[in-house]
Homo-oligomer: A and B are copies of this chain.
Amino acid sequence: MSVADPGGHVQLLRVQNFAVSQDGFGAGRGQSFERPFGHADPQTMLSWAGATASWPNRTDPGGSRGIDDYFTRDYARNIGAEIMGRNKFSPHRGPWENHDWQGWWGDEPPFHTPVFVLTHHERPSFSLSDTTFHFLNADPQTALERAKQAARGQDVRLGGGAHTIREFLDADLIDTLHVAVAPVELGAGSRLWESPDELLDRYHRDVVPSPTGVTHHLFWRR
């Protein structure tokens, strides 16, 4: 499932820093502009990452350089493109009323690469700083081929949400996953898994508890 670039390196599809609740939800019910994670509290899901020195959105100096920081600093390493689902890009559903919405991230999105947004409703590509958003109505395999081409030999990050990661898991296209299980139960929402053990037939796994309360699950192919 891995493509070698002309230099002989392998291009991986990687899930990085994806946060889920103890009961397996990547976001809560009822995503909206005001609540991008639905009824889930983004602070509870992501405070472990925000506290690290390498958090991409960090504005003040400082931050921890312990185990959690290894994960945030790995977020951009050797990544040449991202694939995300439309629900990560936008709270809108159905056809675009207009093209005013340009994502949640302001003028400096934290991706710094081409980003491929999977949607049934395509629209023209646009750039914000060094991030370019493309809109693709494609199956996972086709989207991955496009993203690998755009990544020019580097890896591709699969950004989520949970539904999109499920589709790529079902198509057996993901090489490595880092999922941070947060110490909270959501009860409902967008589900990644019933249990992380579901993946053990196809993946090795290391489980790494952090002092901040999250438990990092690291999967790589058997």
- Which residues of A come within 8 Å of B, CB atoms? 10, 53, 61, 64-67, 70-71, 73-74, 77, 176, 204-206, 208, 210-211, 216, 218, 220
Contact B73 A206 (CB under 8 A): no
Contacts A206-B211, A210-B206; A220 near B73 (Cβ below 8 A): no
Known A206-B211, A210-B206; contact A218-B77, beta-carbon cutoff 8 A: no
A65, A206, A218 — which one has the most chain B CB atoms within 10 A of its CB?
A: A65
Min CB gap A1→B, angstroms: 14
A67: nearest chain-B partner, CB-CB: B206
17 CB-based A-B contacts, threshold 8 Å: A10-B61, A64-B220, A65-B204, A65-B218, A66-B204, A66-B206, A66-B218, A66-B220, A67-B206, A67-B218, A70-B70, A70-B71, A73-B74, A73-B77, A74-B74, A77-B77, A206-B211
CB-CB nearest 10 A-B residue pairs: A66-B206, A65-B220, A67-B206, A70-B70, A66-B218, A67-B208, A65-B176, A206-B211, A67-B218, A208-B208
Q: How far is the CB of A30 from chain B (nearest CB, A)?
A: 35
Q: A216 — which chain B residues lie within 8 A by C-beta?
A: 67
Give, as a whole number of angstroms, the nearest-CB distance from A5 to chain B: 14
List B contacts of A65 (CB < 8 A): 176, 204, 218, 220
Measured in the bound complex, the distance between the Cα atoms of B218 and A71 in whole Å is 13
Smallest Cβ-Cβ distance to A78: which chain B residue:
B73
The distance from the CB of A7 to the nearest CB of chain B, in whole angstroms, is 14
Give complex CA distance A73, B14 in Å.
15
Known contacts A73-B74, A74-B74; can you find 8 more A-B pairs with CB under 8 A?
A10-B61, A53-B220, A64-B204, A65-B204, A65-B218, A70-B70, A70-B218, A73-B77
